[in-house]
Structure 1
Amino acid sequence: MNSHCWLQQGLSLFYWAKQIEKREKTHFQEDIRVEATVQGQQKTEEIKFKTLPILISLLLAGFIGMFSETALNVALSDLMNVLNITPSTAQWLTTAYLLTLGILVPISGLLLQWFTTRQLFVAALCFSILGTFLAAVSPNFEFLLTARVVQAMGTALLLPLMFNTILVIIPPAKRGAAMGLIGLVIMVAPAIGPTIAGLLIESLSWHWIFWLSLPFLVIALVCGILFMQNVTKVTKPRIDALSIVLSSLGFGGIVYGFSSAGGTEGWGTPKVIIPIIIGVVALALFVFRQLTMKQPMINMRAFKYPMFVVGVVMVFIAMMVILSSMLILPMYLQQGQGYTAFKAGLLLLPGGLINGLMSPLMGRLFDKYGPKWLVIPGLIIIAVSLWFFSSITATSTVVFVIVLHSALMIGVSMIFMPAQTNGINQLPMELYPDGTAIMNTLQQVAGAIGTALAVSIMTAGTNSFLKGVADPKDPANMLSAFTNGVQNAFIFGMIVSIVGLVVAFFLKRVIVSHQTQSSMH
């Protein structure tokens, strides 16, 4: 059954990529002229991109990378027993992964200008393969933690590379459909991760989560070596060590602090407060330094473009909602309704698959109608779904969960890709690496903040309920308290989506040609 799920996903990726190529053949295989100045004279260099093999290589690798980000979450309970570790220790397997992404993704814009597309792709896949293999053979917690960090290094290189490459090889007017494929990767992989991981744990062992991923990563690497092309010019800008240090402290501190608060630390401990303070101060210094440098590590001028700013806010909100919901809902299905990890994941599978099918469709609708009439209804669907989810109880039916989760996934597909693509489209081509670095970094920060706040609200709601009952240790009262906390967490998600709805009314469609965009600055 697990191999069937993976085969379906692989065929789905191939089908959508093939459909895009067929529909847009005249656009995808047109010659893209890159102007290069050589000894003061203008020369035109012809580059013909083989779009389909490049898309397949990137999307397959990205799919496995995002699958790895969430697949292990459902195995944490099993790992605590097998490796004899506490919940707070097990939480580090997720925290370390997010922390590595938070540190490395911000410097991806610099790496994209220092190394060729092929070099970065091969490096990303080598890190991912090495990390996955080490995880598959891990004998203890320390070994597994190291493997997760190596895995995250590969994902941190791959995600910005995937966005930037598609932005370069596909004209803005046809970019929505291709970005819909990225939406399929980013949303479906985390959605089906718990299902497949739950099945593997039930049938084999947690090691097989990684053994299953390994051959697909090797296939992606071979495809990349054979077909990947260099799509950007290597300019090798000056490396500012202080900017890298401030970026690492800033984003790393914030991700670590919020991740700790979302674990077992609580908000009032030094382990949470100090990293967040250091992160905020370092981030402020980082932004100030970028604005005063001639060659910044991340060009903050991207924020001069209003639709890019709106797109960043939309992506931030979407990631907060989806990642917090994907943490709270499976937790309640297992602890509140008594489902196994596999059954809980299975209930969430239809929503994940629907999201994957909707993403390319939303891409085509975006190309035709723009973002506003997708994002606003999408946020309304999310807000309504979360409002219904706030009434979930231990007796809620399977149909209730599947329908609402599917609606939630449809809403997310209507927001994520259209807002992101519209924002990036407004940037000049020279700011693509910076724009993708900003978007991808803030996605990790949004994930850390969203999950931390959701878990904290859930815990506070649980504790508040228990204080008002005569016997807090009564199992019935404990279940009611947990249910109250989960309901509060969904109300938090609904409020966040309503804030996003207000911002969405400022969306305007960006219409700009590829040629105009490359000359803007």
Structure 2
Amino acid sequence: MQEANVVEHQIPKVKVFPIMFSLMLAVFIGTFNETALNVALSELMRTFHIGETLVQWLTTGYLLTLGILVPLSGLLMKWFTTRQLFLTAVALSIIGAVTGAIAGSFEILMIARIFQAAGTAILLPLLFNSALILFPPEKRGSAMGLVALVFTAAPAVGPTISGLLIVKLSWHWIFWISCLFMLVSLVFGAIYIQNISKITKPKIELFSLFMSIFGFGALVFGFSNIGESESDWNSTKVFIPIVISIVILTFFVFRQLTIEKPLMDLRAFQKSMFVNGTLLILVCMMVNLSAMLILPMYLIRVIGLNALSAGLVLLPGGLIFAFFAPVIGRLFDKYGPKWLVLPGLIIVVVSLWFLTSLSPTSTISLIVSLHCSLMIGIVMVWNPAQTNGMNDLPPEMYPDGTAIMNTLLQIAGAIGTATAVSVMKIGEIKFLENSSSPDVLHPSLALTAGIQDAFFFTISVSAVGLLIGLFIKRVKVENQHHMK
């Protein structure tokens, strides 16, 4: 059992609900944007005359921007007030949404996604940090359940909402809807958001700042290029950026551990349950985003559904996640993480195993059932692992802990989606090479083979998660003051 964290930290009274509502609405739209374009990718490929490997940058580029900017969030929360960060982040998101709505080329659309991601990069850690400050330890699981809901349910329902918009209107309306809700969040937040964190204004270590940007950026860039290099994993576009990132991030870690005021306090990794929880949510992120990228491609290009129908197939899983997230949070508060995390990981592995058997003749009911069970398994792991991990840190390290977790989440998401696409493409190529008459084969057969291989990749990731989950232990947290 982990040693209790005992901290004396007096915090003034604030209105908890208005602050959380403003943040949760903004983060919901920000994370909705992560997968909202997935069901539109096929149409965007036709509209802009681009291929799979380029169009995936609308997803991977979004995650790349998050991976570069989220590491700075811990520093930003020590320099600027909650209100200042919130208003800035929502303004960036609105600029991105308007730009995307009027985009007439792939390049402009990519710029819009970068603006949206920049806003989300500030909002994500801000929400996590606020939830940790506003709620006492005995209610933190329920609070983080709501956070997990907006963080992961929004990407789950994104394809359904965007599919409806594409069929009834056009893909431009995905951005207009995002803009509308961000404006609501901006108005509500401008009225109610106030500062709840301690502003210390530590010295900015520019060398660490540059190493963070280029190190994390090169890492995601290298893995993203795997999808463009087809079967050549030894491509210089992949190998060189990854090697450079490893070198830079090695110096970055050493620098953070040896300077007095680090950009990111890596002493958080001295806490075993923080490490355990972080690794488990990385597994969840890779599996979730990979599945949310692969399944729409399968439903549209293999089964032959339109964007709206594909979104509707994925809707029950998103709704189930939304229902179970607060429930799992309350169960965590009462029973701890172990008896939620381990069964959840088993459900994830079994669901993915059955998904490797998808074929052009698979029924819609089977796909809905497997997706729902996958989402149940993920929510059983995500919230308990994350809350338990953050509980292992003292309150003064919450900004650093949230920055670390969210940085690694975006990196894992980018690596997971890029690798899944790469494995899928390699599977397609091998299927065609091993077929006696590839010219007469239906393209969906090759794509199905690639999709099956991609799900085998996600099984390997979740199997590692199952091993990590065996070591999770409940962290007891006592005597922490909180917001009223």
Length-normalised TM-score, structure 2 = 0.95
Q: Specify every segment of 5 or more residues in structure 1 that has no aligned partner in the other structure, as ranges.
A: 1-31, 36-45
Q: After TM superposition, give the deviation of residue 92 of structure 1 in Å.
A: 3.0
CA root-mean-square deviation: 1.8
Report the AA paired with residue 62 of structure 2: Y
SS at 1:47 equivalent: coil
Cα 1:318–1:53, aligned 2, differ >3 Å: closer, same or farther? same
* Match in the other structure for 2:386: 420
Partner of 2:34: 69
CA contact (8 A) 1:359 1:413 kept: yes
1:106 to 36, 46, 71: 71
Is 1:130 equivalent to 2:95 in the alignment?
Answer: yes
The alignment covers a number of residue pairs equal to 476
| Equivalent residues of 1:378, 1:414 under 8 A apart | yes
Q: In the superposition, relative to structure 1, how do residues 126 and 512 fare at CA in structure 2: closer, same or farther (>3 Å)? A: same
> Whole-Å Cα distance in 2 between the matches of residues 212 and 456 of structure 1?
32
For residues 186 and 71 of structure 1, what CA distance do their matches in structure 2 show?
Answer: 13
Name the residue aligned to 1:248.
213
Residues 480-505 of structure 1: CA distance to partner in whole angstroms, max 9, x if unpaired?
Answer: 33222222221221222121111111
CA shift, 1:339, in A, is 1.2
Q: For structure 1, which segment, 69-78 or 56-65, has the greater mean C-alpha deviation from structure 2 after superposition? A: 69-78
Q: Could you report, residue by residue, the CA deviation over 1:468-489 in whole angstroms, capped at 9, with x for unpaired residues?
A: 221112234x433322222222
1:287 aligned to 2:253?
yes
Q: What are the superposed Cα offsets for residues 144-188 of structure 1, whole Å, 9 maximum, x if unpaired?
A: 222211111100000000000111111111101111111111121
Mapped pair 1:411 → 2:360: no
Which amino acid in 2 is paired with 1:114? W
Distance 1:139 1:484, change over 3 A: closer
Cα distance in 2 for partners of 1:74, 1:235 equals 44
1:218 and 2:180 correspond:
no
- Give distance in 2, aligned partners of 1:122 and 1:378: 37
Instruction: Give the distance between the partners of 2:83 and 2:214, measured in 1 at CA.
Output: 29
Question: Structure 2 vs 1, CA of residues 92 and 482 (structure 1 numbering), >3 Å: closer, same or farther?
Answer: closer
Instruction: Tell me the CA shift for residue 33 of structure 1.
Output: 8.1
Q: Structure 2: how far apart are the matches of 1:285 and 1:252?
A: 15
1:232 correspondence with 2:193? no
1:396 maps to 362
Relative to structure 1, is the Cα distance of residues 325 and 88 closer, same or farther in structure 2, using a 3 angstrom cutoff?
Answer: closer
Q: Whole-Å Cα distance in 2 between the matches of residues 203 and 516 of structure 1?
A: 50
Deviation for aligned residue 1:254: 0.9
Q: How far does the alpha carbon of each residue in 1:34-88 deviate from its partner, in whole angstroms, 9 at most, with x for none?
A: 45xxxxxxxxxx6112111111111100000011111122222222322344444
Contact 2:71–2:264, Cα closer than 8 Å, also in 1: yes
Contact 2:8–2:480 at 8 Å: present in 1 too?
no
Distance change (3 Å), C-alpha of 1:96 and 1:485: closer
SS of equivalent residue, structure 2 residue 475: coil
More moved, 480-489 vs 49-58: 480-489
Query: Structure 1, residues 201-256: CA drift from partner, whole Å, max 9, x if none?
Result: 11211111111111211111111111112111100001011101111111111111
Q: Output one character per residue of 1:408-443: Cα deviation in whole Å (capped at 9) or x when no partner.
A: 000000011110000000101111011000100111
Q: Shift of the alpha carbon at 1:263?
A: 4.2
Structure 2 counterpart of 1:370, from 312, 318, 336: 336
- Per-residue CA shift, 1:93-119, capped at 9, x if unaligned? 223212211110001100010001111
Q: Which amino acid in 2 is paired with 1:505?
A: L
User: 2:452 aligned with 1:487, yes or no?
Assistant: yes
Q: Which residue of the partner structure matches residue 349 of structure 1?
A: 315
Q: What are the superposed Cα offsets for residues 354-382 of structure 1, whole Å, 9 maximum, x if unpaired? A: 00110000000000000111000000001
- Greater RCO (Cα-Cα under 8 Å, separation 6 or more): 2
Aligned runs of 1:263-274 on 2, under 5 Å? 263=228, 266-274=232-240
The aligned counterpart of 2:351 is: 385
What amino acid is aligned across from residue 287 of structure 1 in structure 2? V
Q: Distance in 1 between matches of 2:457 and 2:58?
A: 26
Q: Distance in 2 between matches of 1:263 and 1:161?
A: 34
| Paired residue secondary structure (1:446) | helix
**Mapped contact 1:462–1:481 kept (Cα < 8 A):** yes
Q: C-alpha distance in 1, partners of 2:425/2:50?
A: 22
Superposition pairs of residues 15-26 of structure 1, within 5 angstroms? none
Pair 1:184-2:149 in alignment: yes
Residues 314-353 of structure 1: matches in 2 within 5 Å? 314-353=280-319
CA contact (8 A) 1:184 1:355 kept: yes
**Residue number among 70, 77, 81 corresponding to 2:46 in the alignment:** 81
Query: Does 455-464 or 63-72 show the bigger shift?
Result: 455-464
1:159 to 121, 124, 133: 124
Distance (Å, rounded) in 2 between the aligned partners of 1:274 and 1:502: 31
Identity, % of aligned positions: 56
Among candidates 437, 460, 466, match of residue 432 of structure 2: 466
Give the TM-score taking structure 1 as reference length: 0.88
Contact persistence 1:180–1:363 (CA under 8 A): yes
In structure 2, give the amino acid aligned to 1:344.
A
* Equivalent residue letter for 1:159: L
Q: Per the alignment, in what secondary structure is the counterpart of residue 388 of structure 2?
A: helix
Give the distance between the partners of 1:174 and 1:195, measured in 2 at CA.
32
Q: Which residue of 2 aligns with 1:308?
A: 274
1:148 aligns with: 113
Change (3 A) 1:85 1:450: closer
Corresponding residue of 2:170: 205
Distance (whole Å) between structure 2 residues aligned to residue 393 and residue 360 of structure 1:
34
Structure 2 distance, partners of 1:391, 1:514, is: 51
- 1:210 and 1:509 map into 2 onto residues whose CA distance is 41
C-alpha separation between the residues in 2 aligned to 1:298 and 1:362? Answer: 30
Name 2:3's counterpart in structure 1.
none
Partner amino acid, structure 2, of 1:247: S
Question: Is the contact made by 1:121 and 1:158 (CA closer than 8 Å) also made in structure 2?
Answer: yes
Q: Which residue of 2 aligns with 1:14?
A: none
Distance in 1 (alpha carbons) for counterparts of 2:446 and 2:115:
39
**In 2, distance between residues paired with 1:312 and 1:451?**
19
Return closer, same or farther for 1:86/1:393 CA change in 2, 3 Å cut-off: closer
